[in-house]
Structure 1
Amino acid sequence: VPDAPVRPIRRAAVIGAGLMAGQLASLMAQGAQIPVVMTDLDDERLATGVQRTRDRFTAQAEKGRMSPEQAEKLGSLITGAKSPEDLADADFVIEAVFEELDVKKKVFAQWEPVLRDDAILATNTSSLSVTAMGEDLKHPERLVGFHVFNPVEVTPLLEIVAAQTTDDSTVATAFEFAATLRRIAVLVKDAPSFVVNRVLTRMYDEIGRAIDAGGDPETVDLALAPLGLPMTPLQLLDFVGPAVLVHITHTMHQAYPDRFTLSPWLDAVAEAGLTRVLPRRGEDSDTYLTPQAEQARDRTRGERAASSAGDDGANGQLLTRVQDALADEIGHMLDESVVASARDVDLCMILGANYPFHLGGITPYLDRCGAAERVRGQRFDAAKK
């Protein structure tokens, strides 16, 4: 954390009123016990978002997690802006709008003239360049990435992204605010998809290759069990949402086309508007995938020439490719100084992706299985010493 002045945060604002915006508003109201004002382009959407956020506290009270009085008090901290001036005295303003660079730039351009010059601007982007987001701002030094993970209530990681122009006071204040919200923050460089999403997307690159090559989806999905992830790749895909993963994949492909390819099957799933690829518990399906996801696989099978057979999960070749891909990508991240050390990657994957704590982190696993030496010529723990 930079040794720099920390600005007090007594009032916050959230630009947006969707599901993530509501989670951010409730996190700040409950964690910091400060007023949070929400705003949106549509009054009806705003009213719905404010009420839904207040209802989150009511639901916690009904479950015995807080008293009804606490729920009422926290709910009263959440308000909807009646005019732009309602955000004028906010100390911390975070956007939670559509994950598109131009949209986020327009949002900041709209609100910067309204806000105080010393108010911190934050973005909850999961993959976009924070530096590019602030290039048209009058005060880009106060813009910082504040990537909170979904679901907000149970995921303790917070990636704090310092753009090229972010000053030390803004970074230090972001860390202090993260601690107030009881989140464990890791400082990351402004690089595409930062840490957690970058690692997971490299894993999905190999999964997509195997399925596009005609591999049996069940065999592919179960091949990574030794990684110790709490969900199989396709279960995690359903949890995150295919559209979100595909968006991040395209971001990574644009940045690093030699290492991140586009999967015709995953693109087809997202284009069809599918929200999941595996049947829900209790649903019938003649295939491992949902009928719609299987149809997308049939349509796109063979569109991308893959170098490996899709049934590699049965003999460990897919697992080995994923291990080597992860070791390679984490190596690039360390070479680029995205984080200070391999320990930061381990912390991010444990707290942000629920990687098993008892396994020590992703880099010790890659050391034990030999991937680090196969790809980098040395173990990750050798770099720590």
Structure 2
Amino acid sequence: MNPDIFADEVVTHALVRDVALPRGAGTLALITLDNGHDHTRPSTFGPRGLTELGEALDAVAAREDIAAVGVTGKPFIFAVGADLKGVPLIGDRADAAAVGRLGHDVFRRLGELRVPSFAYYNGAAMGGGVEIGLHCTYRTVSTGVTAFALPEAFLGLVPGWGGTYLLPRLIGAEKALKVVIDNPLAQNRMLKGPQVRELGIADAIFDSADFLEESLAWTARVLKGEVVVDRPEVDTGKAWDDAVALARWNVDGRLHGAAPSYVKAIDLIAAAKDRTRDEGFAAEDEALADLIMSGELRAGLYAFDLTQKRAKKPAGAPDAALARPVTKVGVVGAGLMASQLALLFARRLEVPVVMTDLDQERLDRGVGHAHAEIGRLLAKGRISPDKANRLTALVTGSLTKDAFADADLVIEAVFEEMSVKRAVFAEVEEHVSAECVLATNTSSLSVTEMAAGLRHPERVVGFHFFNPVAVLPLLEVVRGERTGDEALATAFATGRTLKKSCVLVKDAPAFVVNRVLLRLLAEIVAAVDEGTPIEVAERAAAPLGLPMPPFVLMGLVGPAIALHVNETLHAAFPGRFPLSDNLAKLVASGKPGVYRPDLTLDPEAVEIFAGGDRPSTEEQVLDRALAALADEIRLMLDEEVVAAPEDIDLCMLLGAGWPFHLGGITPYLDRTGISEKVTGRRFRT
């Protein structure tokens, strides 16, 4: 392997010490994985670190005086997988294959020692960090573990150091596919310690406060025969095949072949039931080599880097020292979005949140919805009874806005109409302090116009959340023409506390995500208006692997909202966002979309869109849609709606579900040549 590829590797050392086990069970050689940094720089595996671990395992394997070998991590971190910094520099398939073989050669020694091996998952474990434990004879996990995953398919890889072979043979194909396929597809969902135990990955779970001590005591009992680990027999027959078939159907329906890593991972798990360990590991090596050399991985790493770095240091954000403390929040409105916002503020800020609305019935319904969600969190074990009681007490309602008198931030979530929102802010300003930040959750209206006429327009800021509020991580922070640095800094600080990824956006029609999505939707709807069948237009976007087809998305957000945003954009850019008479007719009909609840097309809705005589093919629809996206994004950058193309990519990844395997929307348009064809230049150099 070319040594220059991983020249910047931060080596994770394998620190070995002897531990005298209780109950006279003998000596355990405990290997601690530690890169010498605190928990903010997790331990990863590069070639030098793997070589050092291999040497440590050679040394303990040669000893006759130990009863077992254990592996754990530094405080809060077990290990988070391969060092990916050097991967984009690999230009030779032989080097790519060598990365897979080295990990297998080292990790498998833990399963081939003359004594039992134990993995003690004390903290975050991802990728290779999970896999090193799978090679061990036994595993324990801490209750404090909040990030446990095999996220490789999400990035464009497969769990290639034993994950696709060992995990299904340990817990069965169905559960393994949940970890390897379903969770990455669900915005890279993480497992927590109790879930790791429930799935059967860990044999025991212990409280985080005394985790290592309890794990060592359990190890002693296992070695003495006082504890027998009984694992259910894995069904390698029809159940295995059915789980694989379901996973294939799910991935094909979601991604339409656009992400080869998911297909490759399923193939490996499907074959694992009949392969020997050597065959399974060799197949993983070949799959890794293919994927490391693919453009998909480069795209996934770019997207991952954006979400891990740029999202944490938003471009253009003011000095955090200017932020004001938020000790109470007001929410104007008591609809579904308002209730979601109230609950989010209460959970994350743990401050009083008061909702207002025009009548008691609506107010009670909104507050009740927030309280009911708290009850559901309690029922699922996500929060304790004490926490549920405290959160319930924090969310209250009032029919009068004088309840906002001591609020530090008030956010409106009322009807998307400028006159309504201006009237709300004018009324709120009569009751709040001069320092209180006024935030609007508008999806498309001008923040500057909304603040006009107020005594303190500098306090108004856009705070655009995405639905569902608790799930989607993006928060578009919109700076109006007169928004002050203090209000903006408070918005960013609050967004961080809410655990949202904030992007600074200029006050422009529909901001970023809705503007891009509506340009895409406008082209698709225009093609249907011209005579393209709805199902053909829907399939046209399938190669992108978006979370849902355009007309399904329209049904989710609601045709009326789609029409309203379209009208806003048409008013600003009539040449690029034409109004659809058919969409207006659909809204007037009262139908929730073109699909029925069973996701079959509604014949009456189809009839509304019928009549065009210039149908297009799928390829033609996709070409025009992508050309429109390239055009719109270039205009947005020229208008300085955001600081750089990376911010548009970040918004689309976190707010619109743009697939990680495509990287970002701008590099995708660059790779496919569309950006140069349409705009004459690439978005990124």
Same fold (TM over 0.5): yes
Residues 244-255 of structure 1: matches in 2 within 5 Å? 244-255=561-572
The alignment partner of 1:310 has SS state of: coil
Quick one: distance in 1 between partners of 2:399 and 2:562? Answer: 35
Residue 684 of structure 2 corresponds to which residue in structure 1?
381
CA contact (8 A) 2:461 2:488 kept: yes
Report deviation, 1:197. Answer: 0.1
Partners of 1:200 and 1:250 lie apart in 2 by 14
Which residue matches 1:168? Answer: 485
The answer to whether the 8 A contact 2:473-2:499 is kept is yes
**Stretch moving more, 193-202 or 48-57:** 48-57
1:317-366 C-alpha deviation (Å, 9 max, x unpaired): 11111111000000000000000000000000000001112321111111
Q: 1:130 aligns with which of 444, 447, 451?
A: 447
Q: Is the 8 A contact 1:156 1:184 kept in 2?
A: yes
Letter in 2 for 1:324: A
Per-residue displacement from partner, 1:136-166 (whole Å, max 9, x unpaired)? 1000000000001101011000000000000
Q: Does 1:357 align with 2:645?
A: no
Question: 2:348 aligns to what?
Answer: 31
Q: Using the alignment, how far apart are the partners of 2:595 and 2:385 within structure 1? A: 38
Partners of 1:327 and 1:207 lie apart in 2 by: 15
Once the two structures are TM-superposed, the CA of residue 266 in structure 1 deviates from its matched residue by: 1.3
Shift in Å, 1:271: 1.6
Q: Percent identity?
A: 52
Tell me the equivalent position of 1:295: 607
1:209-288 paired onto structure 2 within 5 Å: 209-281=526-598
Letter in 1 for 2:615: G
- Partner amino acid, structure 2, of 1:56: E
Q: Which residue in 2 is equivalent to 1:59? A: 376
Identify which of 285, 310, 324 aligns with 2:615.
Answer: 310
What SS does structure 2 have at the residue aligned with 1:380? coil
Distance 1:217 1:14, change over 3 A: same
**1:236 deviation in Å?**
1.0
Counterpart Cα distance in 1 of 2:434 and 2:414: 22
- Equivalents in 2 of 1:335, 1:49: separation in Å? 41
Amino acid in the other structure paired with 1:163? G
For 1:87 and 1:173, the matched residues in 2 are separated by 17
8 Å CA contact 2:363, 2:399 repeated in 1: no
Residue 268 of structure 1: how far off its partner (Å): 1.1
| 1:7 corresponds to which of 318, 324, 339 | 324
Superimposed CA distance per residue, residues 53-111 of structure 1 (whole angstroms, 9 cap, x where no aligned partner): 11111011112222233222111100112543211000000000000000000001111
Instruction: Give the counterpart letter for 2:345 in structure 1.
Output: M
Aligned mates of 2:400, 2:514 — CA distance in 1: 36
| Displacement after TM superposition at 1:295 (Å) | 2.8
Give the letter aligned to residue 497 of structure 2. Answer: T
Whether 2:199 is the aligned partner of 1:199: answer no
Distance of aligned partners of 1:41 and 1:374 in 2 relative to their CA distance in 1, 3 Å threshold: same
The 2-side partners of 1:292 and 1:168 are apart by 51
Question: For 1:218 and 1:257, how far apart are their aligned partners in 2?
Answer: 27
- Residue 346 of structure 2 contacts residue 391 of structure 2 at CA under 8 Å; is this kept in 1? yes
Q: Secondary structure at the match of 1:13?
A: strand
Aligned to 2:417: 100
Whole-Å Cα distance in 1 between the matches of residues 529 and 472 of structure 2?
Answer: 32
Residue identity opposite 2:437 in structure 1? I
What's the offset of the Cα at 1:311? 3.0
1:109 aligns to 2:422 (yes or no): no
SS across alignment from 1:365: helix
Letter of the 1:291 counterpart? P
Does the CA-based 8 Å contact 2:358-2:399 persist in structure 1?
no
Q: Indicate the SS of the match to 1:131.
A: helix
Matched, 1:348 2:651: yes
Aligned residue for 1:49?
A: 366
Give the aligned partner of residue 326 of structure 1.
Answer: 629
Q: Following the alignment from structure 1 to structure 2, what is the Cα–Cα distance between the partners of residues 310 and 93?
A: 49
Which of 335, 354, 358 is equivalent to 1:18? 335
Unpaired runs of 5+ residues, structure 1, are: none
Report what 1:143 is aligned to.
460
Provide the TM-score with structure 2 as the length reference: 0.53
2:684 is paired with a residue whose SS is: helix
Structure 1 match to 2:238: none
Q: Classify 1:25/1:101 alpha carbon distance in 2 versus 1 (closer, same or farther; 3 Å).
A: same
Structure 2, unmatched stretches of 5+, are: 1-316
| Alpha carbons 1:268, 1:296 under 8 Å: kept | yes
- How many residue pairs end up in the alignment? 368
State how far apart, in whole Å, the 1-side matches of 2:680 and 2:559 are: 35
Distance 1:83 1:220, change over 3 A: closer
Structure 1 contact 58–68 (Cα < 8 Å) conserved: no
**TM-score, normalisation: structure 1:** 0.93
Which SS does the other structure have where 1:149 is aligned? coil
Partner of 2:283: none
Q: Aligned equivalents of 1:244 and 1:184: distance in 2?
A: 24
Counterpart secondary structure, 1:145: strand
- Aligned CA RMSD, in angstroms, stands at 1.3
Structure 1 residue 381, shift from structure 2 partner: 1.1
Q: Is this contact kept in 1: 2:534–2:606, CA < 8 A? A: no
SS at match of 2:617: helix
Match for residue 672 of structure 2? 369
CA contact (8 A) 2:357 2:399 kept: no
Q: Could you report, residue by residue, the CA deviation over 1:15-42 in whole angstroms, capped at 9, with x for unpaired residues?
A: 0000000000001000111110000111
Task: Give the distance between the partners of 2:673 and 2:474, measured in 1 at CA.
Answer: 28
Q: Relative contact order, CA 8 A, sep 6+: which one is greater? A: 1
CA distance in 1, matches of 2:421, 2:560: 18
Q: Larger Rg: 1 or 2?
A: 2
